[in-house]
Structure 1
Amino acid sequence: MSRFYKTHVDDLKLGMFVSDLDRPWTDSPFLLQGFTIDSIDELATLRDLCSYVHVDVGLSKHVEDYALQNSHGGRKRTKVIAKMFPDRTLVTYEDVFTFEGEVGSAEKVFKDYENVIGNIYKSVETSGNLDMVAVSKTVTRVVGSIVRNPDACMLLSAISKKDSYSYSHALSSSVLAAALGRQIGLPVHDLKTLATGALLCDIGKLEIPSTILNKSAPLTEQEWQLVKDHVSLGMKILEDTTGVSPEVKAIVANHHERYDGRGYPAGLSGKNIPPLARVAGLVDCYDAMISDRSYASGVSPADAISKLYTMRDLDFEAELVEEFIQTVGIYPVGSVVELTDGRVGVVVTEHRRRRLRPRILILLNSDKRQLVEPSYVNLLEETEDQAGRPLEILKGVDPSAYNLHPEDLTF
């Protein structure tokens, strides 16, 4: 293996030593000529600034992980990700439709999914019956939409009204799990298993009194133990239900286990946790962070991404966290952001190769006045503002700060 090699910025990983850029170092914000990528911000800056860089293998960490091509000749994947699924042939998905081409179908699929999830939870709550035929049919349609173009379902999930934490969390986790599985390159069968497992992860909470689940004060030790029992309670429901695969049961049983062994109920660690459960556990954690609950307000998607980054190789493998960030972007679809020229809008679609240059539906002008007709800005194409200054995302913002309601948007 040559010590130095040229690589596309989208194939960069934390720990790589960047020895040279595709432009003079003086044209970059980096103070040192040659450095190890130690943060997600450095990674994002490189991906936004350059097309390719040169990597020094000798000074990089985890050298053996960097150059494993998947069998289809698509994007590179680390050995860690490949070893998570040794019995699968990982594939590279391409968008079949644009966002506009998929969103109409996705709206119908998503609305049906919302209704089915509501009916499923109500049925389990009242009679203990779980209709896996209905689950399978609607999951198949959702996964089909995600395979064609994940942005549409992910956006609809992100901006949907949150009438019930249980329903919306199940729905969002299901969509995100399938999208992350697509990013990893898992076969469609596994995407359906992931979506189903994530959908049912918290089904056991229906057996826990709402006074505990919705308690605003800190839980007692006894109450917290009861909340953790939702895993075994959910497994009891699944064991009494026909048509639930062993893989789905494994996801539900292990979605709160953590990479470093500090999870529950069994305290499993590392590769002892089923790989699909590791995927579902990560998205379950992320969606819980961004969701409002009785005892805490959710954080912004961008803040949740930053928090996940600090959890790498503790709660979740670093490589899995990176795959998730590649799935949703630094500013996930549905995020409300402010641009450097003062305009405010909602992220609608991600560019698979340039995650910091998404397409945004502008809702407020630079004076923060609401537009009569919202307009799109594609940051991949529109790189400067009217004054010729670089046009970028400045920060994520709270929609309530400007009385914005993304859930009322139509596309």
Structure 2
Amino acid sequence: MLKRISVEQLTLGMYLKEFCGSWMEHPFWRSSFVITDPQDIASIRASSIREVWIDCAKGLDLAPGESVVSVAESEAQVDEELASAAEAVQQIQRVPTTVEFDRAAKIIAKSKQAVTLMFEEARMGKAVDADGARRLVAEISDSVSRNAGALISLARLKTADDYTYMHSVAVGALMIALARQLGLDEQQTRSAGIAGLLHDLGKAAMPIDVLNKPGKLTDAEFATIKTHPAEGHRMLLQGSGSDEMALDVVLHHHEKTDGSGYPKGLLDREISLFAKMGAVCDVYDAITSNRPYKAGWDPAESLRKMAEWSKGHFDPVVFQAFVKSIGIYPIGSLVLLSCGRLGVVTEQSEKSLLSPQVKVFFSTRSKTRLLPEIVDLARTGCREKIVSREDPAKWNFADLNEIWSGQPTSNR
């Protein structure tokens, strides 16, 4: 039997089934476990969570005579009640990127913590908690609904040291945005997010020195890394409630439409839509991120490179939808305007992919910094337009990411 109780009634030995509240409100990445540490109870009580569900069949029950908030006979009843409560308090509305940045930064920080723990548990041979992944993806999905560019662009600002974990978060968000662009339903969209989050799970089984090697891999090392899709697939199968789309994407996100990918060398028609989505999202985040052996490319330049590779590598329909989902000039792209000013893209336009909002801050004519100013290229009467994408390395603006994100580089 499942009982909804106050957090003040929690005791050691109880099986905590579910928190009554947002995933962001409690200090754990998973929600189903036996409470064995007094500190866990203290952490729960110190959070904003006031009630939880316990499973009396898997842990200790309340003492006789203690009151309960409610009782459920099945997990389905609990899920239904929590879904109803979430729907009642949350109406997702689109907000500007600048408004979503702070919340997105918090989601990213908690997501990184969750994915890090997930990989560590997988490395120790523990089964993957699919339910925990679903809750994480729900928060990411809601952020993408409010503003697709905020979390996606911030997730790109990972360091080489936390690449493996933050890459998973970024690909999860990119998959959600792409799924919506392709018109997939909400269940498929959430599954796409889970698939993106777990796509590199197999890297938990890779030797750390090979995974983080700063130089080029030897043939033997690359052969080892190429086993990570199969390893990740095996790990997912060991857990309960594995998502079918996640299993597919984990195994096949390195396949290419011309058959030159791995691990199976599948041809275009043999690769699922979801694995094709995973391939595009995986590559985009990889090439825009700082790695141990190279600095990340500018977002707009990365799309140009991917367009060159698209024949034989990516499905053209999926790639075109991906570009529409993040913009021809994604947030963070350095661009030159027709007036001779440099700016960085801060917001996509609903009117045209070629007319985003740009924060201008530098004059190429006078070679001087300007007071930052937002220019909406889609605004009626605006005569400015983008004439070229620019290479950030050429201009060497140390604070470029801070200019568009408002987030101190030291915090990323």
Aligned to 1:347: 345
Structure 1 segments of 4 or more deviating over 6 A? none
Which one of the candidate residues 233, 238, 241 is aligned to 2:231? 233
Partner Cα separation in structure 2 for residue 343 and residue 215 of structure 1: 39
Alpha-carbon deviations, 1:200-227, whole Å to 9, x = none?
1111112111222233443332222111
Aligned to 2:362: 364
Tell me the amino acid that sits aligned with residue 123 of structure 2.
E
Q: Specify whether residues 349 and 160 from structure 1 end up closer, same or farther in structure 2 by C-alpha distance, changes over 3 A only.
A: farther
Which one of the candidate residues 389, 392, 406 is aligned to 2:401? 406
Partner Cα separation in structure 2 for residue 407 and residue 177 of structure 1: 25
Q: Which structure 2 residues correspond to residues 214-293 of structure 1 after superposition, within 5 A? A: 214-293=212-291
The question of 1:121 aligning with 2:115 is answered no
Structure 1 range deviating more: 124-133 or 183-192: 124-133
Alpha-carbon deviations, 1:64-102, whole Å to 9, x = none?
xxxxxxxxxxxxxxxxxxxxxxxxxxxxxx973343554
The question of 1:188 aligning with 2:183 is answered no
Shift of 1:110: 3.1
Partner Cα separation in structure 2 for residue 335 and residue 289 of structure 1: 14
Partner Cα separation in structure 2 for residue 351 and residue 98 of structure 1: 11
Q: Which structure 2 residues correspond to residues 60-139 of structure 1 after superposition, within 5 A? A: 96-100=94-98, 102-126=100-124, 128-139=126-137
Q: Aligned to 1:143, what secondary structure does the other structure show?
A: helix
Partner Cα separation in structure 1 for residue 197 and residue 256 of structure 2: 19
Q: Specify whether residues 383 and 211 from structure 1 end up closer, same or farther in structure 2 by C-alpha distance, changes over 3 A only.
A: farther
Larger radius of gyration: 2
Aligned to 2:391: 397
Tell me the amino acid that sits aligned with residue 401 of structure 1.
N
Partner Cα separation in structure 1 for residue 273 and residue 354 of structure 2: 29
CA contact (8 A) 1:333 1:349 kept: yes
Which one of the candidate residues 152, 155, 159 is aligned to 2:153? 155
Contiguous gaps of at least 5 residues in structure 2: 1-91, 408-412
Shift of 1:382: 7.4
Tell me the amino acid that sits aligned with residue 203 of structure 2.
K
Partner Cα separation in structure 2 for residue 296 and residue 314 of structure 1: 25
Tell me the amino acid that sits aligned with residue 398 of structure 1.
P
Q: Aligned to 2:345, what secondary structure does the other structure show?
A: strand
Shift of 1:114: 2.6
CA contact (8 A) 2:144 2:176 kept: yes
**Number of residue pairs matched by the alignment:** 313
Q: Aligned to 2:287, what secondary structure does the other structure show?
A: helix
Q: Aligned to 1:118, what secondary structure does the other structure show?
A: helix
Tell me the amino acid that sits aligned with residue 309 of structure 1.
A
Partner Cα separation in structure 2 for residue 95 and residue 360 of structure 1: 23
Tell me the amino acid that sits aligned with residue 362 of structure 1.
V
The question of 1:209 aligning with 2:207 is answered yes
Q: Specify whether residues 125 and 343 from structure 1 end up closer, same or farther in structure 2 by C-alpha distance, changes over 3 A only.
A: farther
Aligned to 1:308: 306
Tell me the amino acid that sits aligned with residue 213 of structure 1.
L
Q: Aligned to 2:374, what secondary structure does the other structure show?
A: strand
Q: Specify whether residues 117 and 252 from structure 1 end up closer, same or farther in structure 2 by C-alpha distance, changes over 3 A only.
A: same
Tell me the amino acid that sits aligned with residue 349 of structure 2.
H
CA contact (8 A) 1:154 1:175 kept: yes
Shift of 1:161: 4.9
RMSD: 2.6
Partner Cα separation in structure 2 for residue 379 and residue 252 of structure 1: 40
Partner Cα separation in structure 1 for residue 159 and residue 196 of structure 2: 19
CA contact (8 A) 2:160 2:291 kept: no
Aligned to 1:49: none
| TM-score, length-scaled by structure 1 | 0.69
Q: Specify whether residues 154 and 383 from structure 1 end up closer, same or farther in structure 2 by C-alpha distance, changes over 3 A only.
A: farther
CA contact (8 A) 2:158 2:290 kept: no
Alpha-carbon deviations, 1:219-262, whole Å to 9, x = none?
33222211100111111211111222122111101111111111
CA contact (8 A) 2:175 2:196 kept: yes
Q: Aligned to 2:312, what secondary structure does the other structure show?
A: coil
CA contact (8 A) 2:347 2:356 kept: yes
Contiguous gaps of at least 5 residues in structure 1: 1-93
Shift of 1:168: 2.1
Tell me the amino acid that sits aligned with residue 177 of structure 2.
A
Partner Cα separation in structure 2 for residue 111 and residue 361 of structure 1: 26
Structure 1 range deviating more: 259-268 or 296-305: 296-305
CA contact (8 A) 1:290 1:304 kept: yes
Shift of 1:291: 2.1
Shift of 1:303: 2.1
Structure 1 range deviating more: 164-173 or 148-157: 148-157
Q: Specify whether residues 96 and 404 from structure 1 end up closer, same or farther in structure 2 by C-alpha distance, changes over 3 A only.
A: closer
Shift of 1:133: 2.5
Shift of 1:369: 4.1
